[in-house]
Amino acid sequence: METYITYSRAKLPEEWEPFLEKIEGCIQCGVCSGSCPSVQMMDITPRQIIHLLRLGREDEALAANTMWFCASCYSCTVRCPMGIEITEVMAVLRNRAIERGIAEPRSLRASRAFVEQITHYGRIFELELLLRAKLAYPLSLMKDLPLGLTLLRKGKINLKPDIVKMPQRLKDSIAKRL
Ligand code: SF4
Ligand code: SF4
């Protein structure tokens, strides 16, 4: 007798619709996790995220820190043999976590600071980004202060932002997503 697995499309909200067909085709080969430079910091791997989603278990995927450590490097997406857009899946998870008010506050603060800097300067300004992320957590600031001072002394951190003129199309695209 053959056993069939029924995936739970109905349990996932409509934001997932464009991805469902491909997600259902995941063969759980693990190439995505094996290609991921951030996997060691993730509490569950990209492969496991895809598995949870194809079972309709979005809540469990959202409870993981995986999407917050995704560097959007696209390694997983270009290597996935089934053409699954895993990088986009991570972006949808971040948006869903924000919409549902379950985003990890530190990650959210860092993400907002990142987007604001890209919008204002056209690229990131590390010193401000670090200070904004760390000032909310003084203990962490104290811990990292010696390293920060060393980097500053060696000229590895700019004191002023480099300003790059961004194409209008890119500005519009960012504004649409805010
Ligand atoms: S690489 Fe693609 S097919 Fe393989 S586990 Fe990851 S998502 Fe699934
Ligand atoms: S896009 Fe994200 S999940 Fe995919 S390999 Fe890069 S860091 Fe990992």
Q: pLDDT tens digits for 117-146?
A: 888 888 888 888 878 777 766 777 788 888
What's the 49 CA to ligand 1 centre distance in angstroms?
Answer: 10
Q: How far is the CA of 66 from the centre of ligand 2 (A)?
A: 9
Q: Rounded to an integer, what distance in angstroms lies between the CA atom of residue 50 and that of residue 11?
A: 15
How far apart, in whole angstroms, are the C-alpha atoms of residue 139 and residue 159?
23
Whole-number pLDDT of residue 49: 97
Q: Does residue 1 lie within any of the structural domains? A: no
Q: Is residue 63 part of a domain?
A: yes
Q: Are 64 and 42 in contact (CB under 8 A)?
A: yes
In whole angstroms, give the CA distance from residue 159 to residue 53. 43
Residue 141 lies in a domain: yes
Given 70, 99, 128, the domain boundary residue is 99
Which regions of the chain are under pLDDT 70?
1-10, 104-107, 136-137, 176-178
DSSP 52-77: HHHTT-HHHHHHSSHHHH-----HHH
Is 64 domain-assigned? yes
Residues 23 and 94 placed together within one structural domain of the fold: yes
Ligand nearest to the CA of 67: 2
For residues 16 and 88, membership in a common domain is answered with yes
Domain boundary among 99, 121, 141: 99
Q: Are residue 75 and residue 133 in the same domain, yes or no?
A: no
Candidates 19, 24, 26, 44: which one to mutate for ligand 1, based on the most atoms within 8 Å of Cβ? 26
- pLDDT value for 78: 97
In a domain, 3, yes or no: no
Do 94 and 15 belong to one domain?
yes
Tell me, yes or no, whether 111 lies in a domain.
Answer: yes
The whole-number pLDDT of residue 34 equals 97
pLDDT in tens, 38-49: 999 898 999 999
Q: Which structural domain range is residue 114 located in? A: 105-177
- For residue 64, the domain's CATH number is 1.10.1060.10
Q: How many domains does the chain have?
A: 2
Question: Among 54, 75, 99, where does a domain finish?
Answer: 99
pTM over 0.75: no
Cβ–ligand 2 distance for 70 under 6 Å, the answer yes
